[in-house]
Every structure is written in C-alpha cells, then in structure tokens.
C-alpha cells in the first residue's frame, strides 16, 4: 500500500513547494544573450558557472537564455574572429580570454564590457573604459526603478582615431582605450588623477561618450553610465542596431 499524507501534511507540503518556487523566482535573473551582428560571435562570461561554463558560440540572429542567482556579480563581453578545435582550444581576434572557449579570466583589451552586481537592487553598466570591439546593450525587462537601457549601439570601429585603431587584413576590428595606448596617469586615472575630482574626460573619452552616451567612457563616468533596477531580467544584445534575432 502506498504512503499517503494526511490533509494537514499535504497542505504543509504544498505550502513548502510554493515557497520553494517563489524563492527560486525571487533569487534568479533571466539573462537572454542575443547576437544581432552579421558575424558569429563567442560571448564570454565570468564567473561562468551559470552561463555554459563561461563561453560559447552564438551564430548571427540567434539567442540563448540563462538564469543567474540574485547574488551573482560578473561581466559579459563578446569575442570575434575565433577559431576553436573540438577540445575548446583556440584563439580570437578580439576579446580573447586566453586559449580557451570557456573563460575563467577577463578578456583581453580592447573589448566592450557589460558589468552586473545583482541584489535586491541590481547595478549594471556597459563599459568602454578598456576599449571597444562590438556594439552592445543591456536592456532590463519587467523590473522596477530607473531600469534604463545601457550601452553602445554605435560601431566605434568606423570612427576610431587612427592612433587607437587595431587592424586585421586592412580593416579596423577594435578600438583601444587611450590608457592602453599611451599608459599615462591622466588617461588611466591613476596617481594624482586617481579620484573623481582630478580624473576628467579626455579628448578620446569624449569621442566614445558622444557616440555612446549611456556607456562608461572613462573610469569615473558614473553619473550617466551606471544604472539600477529591481527584480529585472536582462537582454544583452550585440549589434542590436543591425537586425532583430530570428531564431534560438
């Protein structure tokens, strides 16, 4: 004869089940990563335990969905021009995190970067402080609060100053930061320039900011570049100005 719960026990079990579902929904954020570029990209995420180990291939017009716990804090960026073998070993033209498909370290500059700190109030931004390789946006969905779309829809490779440009086969594939190129305290916001009062916008950061008003252009570009939202899911889109996703 099978085991049966009495009515109070069944009510308690139902209550615990509903509580478990509610706790999961409140402690997770849904991340949808969309490739609207006209080329295959290899998104990278650190830490990547909830994101396919930190790296994967995403074809043009495709998207992929993940869930992250509410205490997750990390970064997402795109890699281009990658070649990986069956073991996941290879290299990328931009955004490389070494020789691995699945990233455990940050990507090599220059790379457009989305940053998240999830909590009861989420903080998020798109940063070009380390340079630019792909247009990308972060779009909060169904959240409450400020919940502004952050990011850069412009293709800065088309307007990158020659002294910052990285080229491959005669075309610009990414745009370095002035800090990366010139390595001075002023451009890198360090030394006497290591605080909001002395670290100011430069000629180069102003080029980035004019093209991408809701992205970080230098280290202390906080007021117009970092956003908050509560209880939101997120759509991270690459090259969203080009076309809408057509498949998953």
How confident is the prediction along the chain (248 residues), in pLDDT tens digits per residue?
Answer: 333 334 344 334 334 333 333 333 456 999 999 999 999 999 999 999 999 999 999 999 999 999 999 999 999 999 999 999 999 999 999 999 999 999 999 999 999 999 999 999 999 999 999 999 999 999 999 999 989 999 999 999 999 999 999 999 999 999 999 999 999 999 999 999 999 999 999 999 999 999 999 999 999 999 899 999 999 999 999 998 644 433 43
Question: Containing domain of residue 137, as a range?
Answer: 28-154+214-238
Number of domains in the chain: 1
Give the Cα-Cα-Cα angle 44, 100, 166 (nearest 5 degrees): 65
- 20 in a structural domain: no
C-alpha distances (whole Å) from 163 to each of 9, 52, 160 are 71, 37, 8
Bridge partner residues of 32 (DSSP):
65, 235
- 81 in a structural domain: yes
- 174 in a structural domain: no
- 38 in a structural domain: yes
- 181 in a structural domain: no
- 15 in a structural domain: no
**CATH at 105:** 2.60.110.10
- 243 in a structural domain: no
- 189 in a structural domain: no
């Amino acid at each position: 004869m099978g085991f049966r719960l009495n009515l109070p026990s069944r009510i308690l079990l139902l209550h615990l089940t509903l509580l478990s579902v509610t706790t999961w929904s409140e402690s997770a954020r849904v991340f949808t990563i969309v490739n609207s570029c006209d080329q295959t990209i290899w998104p990278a995420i650190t830490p990547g335990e909830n994101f396919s180990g930190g790296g994967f291939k995403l074809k043009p017009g495709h998207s992929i969905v993940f869930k992250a716990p509410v205490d997750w804090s990390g970064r997402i960026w795109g890699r281009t021009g990658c070649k990986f073998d069956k073991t996941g070993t290879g290299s990328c033209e931009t955004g490389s995190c070494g020789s691995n498909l699945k990233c455990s370290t940050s990507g090599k500059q220059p790379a457009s970067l989305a940053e998240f700190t999830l909590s009861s109030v989420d903080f998020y931004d798109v940063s070009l402080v380390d340079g630019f390789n792909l247009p990308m946006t972060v779009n909060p969905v169904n959240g409450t609060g400020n919940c502004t779309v952050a990011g850069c829809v412009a293709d800065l490779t088309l307007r990158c100053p020659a002294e910052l440009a990285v080229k491959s086969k005669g075309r610009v594939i990414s745009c370095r930061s002035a800090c990366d190129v010139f390595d001075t305290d002023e451009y890198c916001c360090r030394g006497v320039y290591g605080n909001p009062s002395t670290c100011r916008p430069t000629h180069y950061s102003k080029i980035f900011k004019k093209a991408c008003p809701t992205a970080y252009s230098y280290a202390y570009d906080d007021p117009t570049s970092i956003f908050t939202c509560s209880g939101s899911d997120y759509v991270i889109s690459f090259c969203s100005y080009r076309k809408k996703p057509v498949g998953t």
